[in-house]
Chains A and B, each alone.
Chain A
Amino acid sequence: MKNRKSLSVLLPVAAIVGFILFNACKSGEPANNSKDSVTTTTPITDGGAGLKLPEGFNAAIVADKLGGTREIAVTPQGDIYVKLNRAKNGKGILFLHQEGDKATVKTGFGTFGGTGVYVKNGYLYASSDEEVFRYKLNAQNEVINSDQPEKIVTGLLNRREHEAKAITLDNDGNLYVNIGAYSNACQVDDRKKGSPGQKGCPILDSAGGIWQFKADKLNQHYGDGVRYATGLRNVVGFDWNQQNNQLYVMQHGRDQLHDLFPDMFTTQQSAVLPAECMYALKKGDNAGWPYMYYDQEQHKKILMPEYGGDGKKEGGQDAIDPIAAFPGHLAPNGLLFYTGNQFPEKYKNGAFIAFHGSWNRAPEPQAGYFVVFQPFKDGKPSGEWEVFADGFAGTAAQTASGRAEHRPCGLAQGPDGSLYVTDDNQGTIYKITYKK
């Protein structure tokens, strides 16, 4: 945890200096202060496809210019389903067939834009920003009737802010849907300076949490589902951990501490706070939004300033603790527990996290746009996280300005244990492989 503290302090500097370090010591030879900077303990080298990866790993661009590619699913046959945030030519889901390191779009279907896509038990599940559909698959995991999906869930709130409905499934016939809070901190007037937080935040009735529905029941509304966990501002990256048989989520923490409370938080503090948290959820859990945020430097749950906090007073007494905390605003959009056998042993059952990259660090340099690896042991984080794949953004200047070329979003594991990463800025699909 000590490292993490210095890490977050250094992030703004690291954004500029990081690439210089990478360039200066390409062999991975640690610089004097490398333990404090955003580098990994594993040597990082040129992994191909413009990415920097640990030694032995290779990246290939299997497809590009697809549109706003969000979440991705790879079938046991190695075919790809990817969801577009906006339908392109009337197609919101693309089906790609792979030959070697190239994937070709075979068909497109589903007129809706959205984020979620998931393959399970003979069905392809996909979400718009208000509904969840499923498509029956044949033995080759190809969609049988692309014009007639079954509507599984309908009528979910979409008030434009945190509208993406990420989805995942467990092994007991349940579907989990994130319904993000349409708010930053549940102020009376969202994001307005001086507007107080609402006690008994009314948003939590219908958003700001994870809802559980039946995976095979049609036309479910809110009333048919269960609010599985609450107090989660917005979750895009989440995954069912097969080892623990438990739901793990990555929360996008609140924005604008300095804008709204310039007397309490400097722009530098506001750039790294609050943490982007990983939670291991059980039914009925409350992660504490909007009444608290997690400060990864003090290692404490802090009372939200809209509710009387001052950056020091503790809060969230009834809220669960995160199991891992990352620097603020990096926007974790993909979470994947690695169960494959292709990568070295240390990656097994650990978590890959795709950070979409920040915008709310300004005027400090932006950061993120990378895939992180968090080692796990027995279902708990074990050891420091490290940057696994970097270089999506392009140059250091493109990272700092937020004008990233590629922004990591969705993650999936292929049948051979390869890791797939989508980029929703240019519609690129990366495939990361390992060779001994």
Chain B
Amino acid sequence: MDFKKAPLILFASLLFAVTGLQAQTKHKAKPPVKRTTGGLKASIDAGQKVFTQYCVSCHQADALGVPHMNPPLVKTTYVLGDKTRLIKIVLNGFNEDVEINGETYSNSMASHDFLKDQEIADVLTFVRNSFGNKAPAITAAQVKTVRATNKKS
């Protein structure tokens, strides 16, 4: 009967997380000094929506991916490391075999260059700060820069 509880707990924690996020964003409105933190929260929040729309079906709700097919987004250098490489994966897609922690992943990822700079920044910021990940935010300006040089090359 634990099974019955699992979705409830999941739902409750989601609710908690969402309300918590909202409460925090409201709080952050007061001290202007903390705007960056407020910006981070807002970006994570917006990024979660992009993730749910475009990423979740392959990378899964827990971002752990699918064995042999779709790579995990949790604690890998691809996600936590170089921002430019990460932004380029979203812009260009990914079509190579990739090995992460001894496991290979073979599915192709489509280019998501149709997403706006802000959407890419948000979703990457969300992924880099969720699922146990912790890494600096990515800004729309950074995406814009990579997109500009990406087109030339």
Contact = CB atoms under 8 A, between A and B. Distances in A.
Interface residues of B, number: 33
Contacts of A259: 53-54, 57
Given A161-B107, A192-B93, A402-B60, A20 B6 contact: no
B1 interface: yes
A193 interface: yes
B64 interface: yes
Contacts of B61: 362-363, 401
A20 B57 contact: no
Judged by DSSP, the binding face of B is loop
Which of A68, A363, A395: most chain B Cβ within 10 A?
A363
A293 B56 CA distance: 23
Contact of A258 (B3, B57, B70, B93): B57
A39 B109 CA distance: 36
A397 B110 contact: no
B110 to A, nearest CB: 4
Interface size class, chain A: 35 or more
A23 B57 CA distance: 30
Interface in A39-79: 68
Nearest to A16: B7
B52 interface: yes
Contacts of B70: 359
Contacts of A255: 57
Contacts of A400: 6-7
B68 A191 contact: no
B110 A189 contact: yes
B5 to A, nearest CB: 10
B127 to A, nearest CB: 15
A258 B54 CA distance: 9
A224 interface: no
A397 B6 contact: yes
B108 A160 contact: yes
A262 interface: yes
Interface in B61-118: 61-62, 64, 66-70, 93, 95, 97, 104, 106-112, 114
B69 to A, nearest CB: 7
A23 B108 contact: no
A155 interface: no
Contacts of B109: 191
A425 interface: yes
Interface in A350-364: 359-360, 362-363
Interface string B1-41: 11110110000000000000000000000000000000000
23 contacts: A20-B1, A85-B68, A160-B95, A160-B97, A160-B106, A160-B107, A190-B110, A191-B108, A192-B111, A193-B54, A193-B110, A193-B114, A194-B114, A259-B54, A262-B53, A359-B69, A359-B70, A362-B57, A362-B60, A362-B61, A363-B52, A395-B3, A401-B60
State the 10 A-B residue pairs at the shortest beta-carbon distance, nearest first. Answer: A192-B110, A396-B3, A191-B110, A359-B66, A160-B106, A397-B6, A362-B57, A362-B56, A19-B3, A363-B56
